[in-house]
Chain A
Amino acid sequence: MDLTLFTRRSDYEWEVRPQGAMRVPAVIYASEALMRDMDNKVYEQAVNVAKLPGIVKASYAMPDAHWGYGFPIGGVAAFDPDAGGVVSAGGVGFDISCGVRCLHTGLVRADVMAAQKTLADALYSRVPAGIGSTGLIHLNLDEMQAMLTGGARWAVERGWGVPEDLQRIEEQGQMKGAKPTQVSEKAKHRQRDEMGTLGSGNHYLEVQEVTAVFDECNARVFGLKKGDVVVMIHCGSRGLGHQIGTEFLKRMAVSAGQHAIRLPDRELACAPINSDVGQEYLGAMRAAINCALANRQIITNLVRQVFADVLPQAKLPLLYDVSHNTCKIEEHRTDGQLKKLYVHRKGATRAFGPGHLDIPEALREAGQPVLIGGSMGTGSYVMAGTRGSESLAFSSACHGAGRAMSRHEASRHWKGRQVVDELAARGILIRSPSMRGVAEEAPSAYKDVSAVVDAADLAGLARKVARLEPLVCIKG
């Protein structure tokens, strides 16, 4: 990216001052090296978001920002409903409430390695992954409504988890304000057989080892120490969320003129929060959040069943569950005033600082766990929200590594089998229905997650707590 477009405010903060139709600045948090590697489209998209009605303070991009559609992936923007603020389907993304869940196991590396192959095969056979796979749970219309209202709480009530799980999920496992009646029949149909499925692409289920601890104090609060084994689940709201995103993108694009919104680009399609379309989207989007939370809960239950069979000494309580494609109402202080804002995070993780009342009590002193997914071969991170993050980017941090190479280029560089063999030689077992999918997700097709996490840490968005490396990876 052309760095002359920015004013450097500090080592990790780059600003585009308002110009033209921009209502607020655009700010990217990243190291100089990450900035140089970033696509110019991130600049364009962050600047375009700064032009939307009712945007508050700035249009932000996280260190893993890359070219999205409308909003950059890694984008954060808050809107004030009293100032004509908007909600944007593209600002949330198609995979509504895609996120990451981390489970403790109480095991150490040696326990898993003694049964590594059996565990990998059992997880692969029990957790539906990849295109065309269906879950074991098929929802009729009544159950669909209950799921869309109840989220993970619904799943726990059906026996797919324990009440303690809910404390460790954003919104206590149930997004309020969901309106299943705003979810189309098509969206419900698309979800009917997809509960408890992982999906494909960059979604995965991994068994990981804690290989480094950077902050002993917070790690202790989170219950992590070097050598521990955890399970990480990355997936979202499946077909239901995709269909809601698709339908509202069109409705918002078509209705923008009626709301006198001049879109810099049609892909920024949005509607006033205080409009029928805006309210209907929020109701449907919150139902999709519940769908994602229920989905990760059902997968959690499947994972627990597998461990009960293969490594029965394991106990798998939740560390935490975060969503990184959402729009949520949050109170933030701007210009000395506490305001209710609609915070869009697309490929960005909420990162509340220590003491925030929405963090479970047992974790509150450390800050909210921020779970960062990496690639199959490199690793993932657990971070903790900081007090300073609120003034930086409405308490937000990065969400992953971000691609360094297109899927096509990756599949020309590597063969799936070769990737599987190379990772096996390093002690990492991959299971996937698609070798082409594995090739497209090759570790080297991703940016260095460590550089992203370091930048987030040094920018003050969140603090590094622990690094995790995979032992088993189930890829959709």
Chain B
Amino acid sequence: MQPHMEDPEKSTARWEHFPHEADVGIRGFGATEAEAFEQAALAMTAVVTDVRRVEAREAIAIECEAPDRELLLAEWLNSLIYEMSTRRMLFSRFSVQLHGARLHAQAWGERVDSARHQPAVEIKGATYTALRVAPVHGEWVAQTVVDV
């Protein structure tokens, strides 16, 4: 999938999907790790639906932790999957703060509307396949494969 720029004038923040045989690879880019985490979350929503169709009506708070940044990325995405599943919501805007092993975030979205969102697939979990959080060419990349 083509990279999606949030605001090409100001930021390098963007996301893309990368191929996996049965599932879908999601990848976020950002000037900071936190921004790359936000973009990875957007890439995850895009596995389910067109992110432009998801309105940022309601905010929820997410907190999680993990022993290292890669496991924290998986934990962040899995926390979102849990909220998507139990609240029956989709999210289209994210604000992430990283403090050592901990992550604090807000996610904005709305309840699933099958007719409008045409959700293609339910995400079961974020795997550790191709899991990577690293600086690449002066920007941060956060990626993994999600099981659908």
Output the least CB separation between A333 and chain B (Å).
33
Which of A41, A68, A190 contacts B85 (CB under 8 A)? A190
Q: Which of B29-37, B114-122, B133-141 contacts A (4 or more CB under 8 A)?
A: B114-122
B131 touches A267 (CB 8 A): yes
CB under 8 Å from chain B, chain A span 434-462:
434-437, 439-440
Report the separation of the CA atoms of residues A223 and B117 in the bound assembly, to the nearest whole angstrom.
Answer: 43
Contact bitstring A229-266, B, C-beta under 8 A = 1, else 0: 00000000001001101100110011000000000011
B17 proximal to A (CB < 8 A): yes
Question: Given contacts A70-B127, A253-B128, could you give 8 more A-B pairs where the C-beta distance is less than 8 Å?
Answer: A39-B21, A69-B147, A70-B128, A94-B127, A131-B112, A406-B20, A407-B47, A437-B121
Report the separation of the CA atoms of residues A109 and B81 in the bound assembly, to the nearest whole angstrom.
Answer: 41
Report the separation of the CA atoms of residues A476 and B119 in the bound assembly, to the nearest whole angstrom.
Answer: 10
CB under 8 Å from chain A, chain B span 65-92:
66-67, 70-71, 74-75, 78, 81-82, 85-86, 88
Report the separation of the CA atoms of residues A439 and B147 in the bound assembly, to the nearest whole angstrom.
Answer: 18
Q: Lowest 4 CB-CB distances: which A-B pairs, in order? A: A132-B112, A69-B127, A131-B119, A69-B129
Report the separation of the CA atoms of residues A431 and B1 in the bound assembly, to the nearest whole angstrom.
Answer: 27
Residues of A within 8 A of B21 (CB): 39, 41, 66-67, 402-403, 406
Report the separation of the CA atoms of residues A39 and B22 in the bound assembly, to the nearest whole angstrom.
Answer: 11
Number of interface residues of B (CB under 8 A): 42
B129 touches A267 (CB 8 A): yes
B122 touches A131 (CB 8 A): yes
Which of B20, B81, B82, B111 contacts A132 (CB under 8 A)? B111
A422 proximal to B (CB < 8 A): no
| Chain A, Cβ-Cβ closest to B113 | A132
Residues of A within 8 A of B81 (CB): 242, 246
A269 proximal to B (CB < 8 A): yes
Residues of B within 8 A of A267 (CB): 127-129, 131
Residues of A within 8 A of B82 (CB): 186, 190, 243
CB under 8 Å from chain A, chain B span 94-130:
111-112, 114, 117-122, 124-129
Report the separation of the CA atoms of residues A411 and B67 in the bound assembly, to the nearest whole angstrom.
Answer: 37
Report the separation of the CA atoms of residues A94 and B148 in the bound assembly, to the nearest whole angstrom.
Answer: 9
Report the separation of the CA atoms of residues A439 and B126 in the bound assembly, to the nearest whole angstrom.
Answer: 23
Report the separation of the CA atoms of residues A132 and B116 in the bound assembly, to the nearest whole angstrom.
Answer: 13
Residues of A within 8 A of B40 (CB): none
Report the separation of the CA atoms of residues A95 and B125 in the bound assembly, to the nearest whole angstrom.
Answer: 9
A201 touches B128 (CB 8 A): no
Residues of B within 8 A of A440 (CB): 120-121
B51 proximal to A (CB < 8 A): no
Residues of A within 8 A of B131 (CB): 266-267
5 intermolecular pairs with C-beta atoms under 8 Å apart: A131-B88, A242-B81, A403-B22, A407-B121, A436-B118
| Chain A, Cβ-Cβ closest to B148 | A201
A360 proximal to B (CB < 8 A): no
Report the separation of the CA atoms of residues A22 and B6 in the bound assembly, to the nearest whole angstrom.
Answer: 46
| Chain A, Cβ-Cβ closest to B115 | A433
Residues of B within 8 A of A73 (CB): 22
B8 proximal to A (CB < 8 A): no
